[in-house]
Amino acid sequence: MKTQASTAPLASTAAIARGHSQAVDGDALNVLRNTYRLLAMTLFFSAGVAALTAALKLPHPGLLLTLGGYFGLLFLTSHLRNSAWGLVSVFALTGFMGYTLGPLLAAYLSLANGPAMIVTAMGATGAIFAGLSWYARQDNAIDMMRFGTFLTVGIITAFCLALAAYFFAMPALSAAVSGLFILLMSGLLLYQTQAIINGGERNYIMATVTLFVALFNLFTSLLHLLGIFGGDEA
């Protein structure tokens, strides 16, 4: 598979920068419920856009347009997060990310075992999300709020390494970055879920964006590694 730079670290670092409170109240529960509802809708919407893009064999917008579109829509969503237009921006952002995913899925679908790898990556992503969401609510769960700085530095570092792997065509580095992103995005899922539960995250729009970004990177990283170890590259 061609080396691809991740397009989604800064929503993660923005979420980490927000503080948290130890109080668990009804507001936090409402934020969690609204976040999961919106996350489910954006995942279905993004998957639909990705499937349509793959079916129509539309071209990938390219790295520069992908980064520009992603960060531009991310900034817009952050700016509109306290208004109804923020919901429109969330769907624009996740739909755009789905569009960028479509060509990658089309490339894998052209491989003999590509469909199986896509299903495996999807299943693994869902299982990791479900497991970490459950774990984050346990009393004995690791307090990820202590690792905010570590996650921020790790995500920015991984993003820079992904760009280096892309521009210098370094497959080994690209595989290592995918493995690193799996660990970092798993940590981010824990972090954001605990931030909601602890009452530190009050905006379900930005919480949804952060979780979506983590799942998007988790899925693409798993798919990349499956492509490498499966002996086929898209």
List pLDDT tens digits, range 203-217.
999 999 999 999 999
The Cα 87–Cα 93 span in angstroms is: 10
- Mean pLDDT along residues 116-141: 94
* Confidence check: pLDDT of 11 > 90: no
* Confidence check: pLDDT of 1 > 80: no
pLDDT at 213: 97
* Confidence check: pLDDT of 167 > 60: yes
Predicted TM-score of the model (pTM) = 0.89
- Mean pLDDT along residues 106-114: 93
The Cα 99–Cα 27 span in angstroms is: 34
pLDDT at 37: 97
DSSP H helix total and E strand total for the chain: 8, 0
- Mean pLDDT along residues 60-85: 95
Q: CA nearest 93: which of 14, 209, 15, 219?
A: 209
Q: Which residues of 153-167 are buried (b: 16+ CB within 10 A; e: fewer)?
A: ebbeebbebbbebbe
- Mean pLDDT along residues 149-177: 94
Element (H, E) at 151: helix 148-167
Which comes out higher in pLDDT, residue 232 or 182? 182
Q: CA nearest 66: which of 93, 44, 90?
A: 93
Q: CA nearest 223: which of 80, 119, 128, 98?
A: 119
pLDDT tens track for 168-201? 999 999 999 999 999 999 999 999 999 999 878 8
Distances (CA, A) of 133 to 57, 76, 98, 102, 214: 35, 28, 23, 27, 13
Q: Quote the mean pLDDT of the chain.
A: 89
pLDDT at 23: 43
Confidence bin at 114 (pLDDT 50/70/90): very high
* Confidence check: pLDDT of 9 > 70: no
Q: CA nearest 77: which of 90, 66, 68?
A: 90
Q: CA nearest 20: which of 210, 199, 203, 211?
A: 199
* Confidence check: pLDDT of 26 > 80: no
- Mean pLDDT along residues 45-61: 96
pLDDT at 139: 85
Round to the nearest angstrom and report the end-to-end CA distance of the chain.
4
